[in-house]
Chains A and B, each alone.
Chain A
Amino acid sequence: MFGTLRGFEVSLFDEFRRLQREVDDVFGRDVHHSFTRGAFPAIDVVSNPQQVDVYLTAPGIDAKALDISIQQNVLSVTGRREAQVEDKASLHRQERFSGEFRRVITLPEDVDPSHVSASYVDGVVRISVQRREAAKPRQIEIH
């Protein structure tokens, strides 16, 4: 009985793997490439009724040289990270991203582009955009 159950689980798992492979095949290597190289910096977006916070994990950049702009609800961030250069040293491994990057993020439509703030702590850029008053849920009380 347990044998049958285990067999079922394995085949289900195999099925997922097969699907995963097919998905990989369809998108080819480009997807992988874009995740490893093009996806710098990685982005997290967290929202609540008051504001939308965008986190970009961009360690070791000159945050003052970042170009952060917002047009209506489209946020774009452009910057560059200098390659680590060591004179008189041989390079054994180079995995860290270097070069220019640009990320464009579409935010919810109710954000207010005139209320944006940004900070840079421990290599993470945080951009907070306030949402418009009307979009916040309002409690309607019954009298």
Chain B
Amino acid sequence: MSISAEVAGNLTSAGVNGQHAPLAQTVLRPAVDIFEDAEGVTLYADIPGVSKERLNVHVDGKTLLLEGTVQPANGSQADGNGTRYRRSFALSRELDPERIEAKVKDGVLTLRVPKRAENRPRKIEIQ
């Protein structure tokens, strides 16, 4: 498996922060689907209310971090105000973090992480 177990401590630290942070700031772990094929890994994450401008995808070494802030509802003090999404993943060595593609549509983030060229299967043509 290529995008594996969340970085240890992510959940714990969120929990600890949750106790001390003001109630207005809620940090949620987005639900994800992860698929792997021969060429790479595709990750889908639910981040409703987060626009492209308020979403950050960071890669630091082997850690992939998703962070997004919910757009506050105009003029109202909706519950959604201050809600943030955050989740991190450990990338395995066979993935190429330099070539990650990300797009957001209707509150779903799609991330494509290709495998390094040497880890992709090559088809040998028979002459």
* A41-83 vs B, Cβ < 8 Å mask (1 yes, 0 no): 1001010100001010111110100000000000000000000
Q: Are B107 and A44 in contact (CB under 8 A)?
A: no
The residues of A that contact B50 with a CB separation of less than 8 Å are 122
Instruction: Answer yes or no: B37 CB below 8 A from chain A CBs.
Output: yes
Closest to B2 in A: A92
| Cβ contact of B106, chosen from A60, A90, A94, A95, cutoff 8 A | A60
Given known A55-B73, A59-B47, A84-B44, contact A120–B106 (CB-CB < 8 A): yes
Tell me which residues across on chain B come within 8 A of A84, comparing CB atoms: 33, 35, 44
Q: B71: CB under 8 A from chain A?
A: yes
User: Chain A residues with Cβ under 8 A from B78's Cβ?
Assistant: 44, 46, 53, 55
Within 8 A of A (CB), among B25-74: 31-38, 41-42, 44, 46-51, 71, 73
From residue 81 to 104 of chain A, which have CB atoms closer than 8 A to chain B? 84, 86, 88-97
Residues of A within 8 A of B46 (CB): 59-60, 96, 123
Apart from A86-B37, A123-B49, list 20 A-B contacts with CB within 8 A.
A44-B79, A46-B78, A57-B80, A59-B47, A60-B44, A84-B35, A86-B35, A86-B42, A88-B37, A89-B36, A90-B35, A92-B3, A92-B34, A93-B32, A93-B34, A94-B33, A96-B44, A123-B46, A124-B48, A124-B107
**Interface residue ranges, A against B (CB under 8 Å):** 41, 44, 46, 48, 53, 55, 57-61, 63, 84, 86, 88-97, 120, 122-124, 126
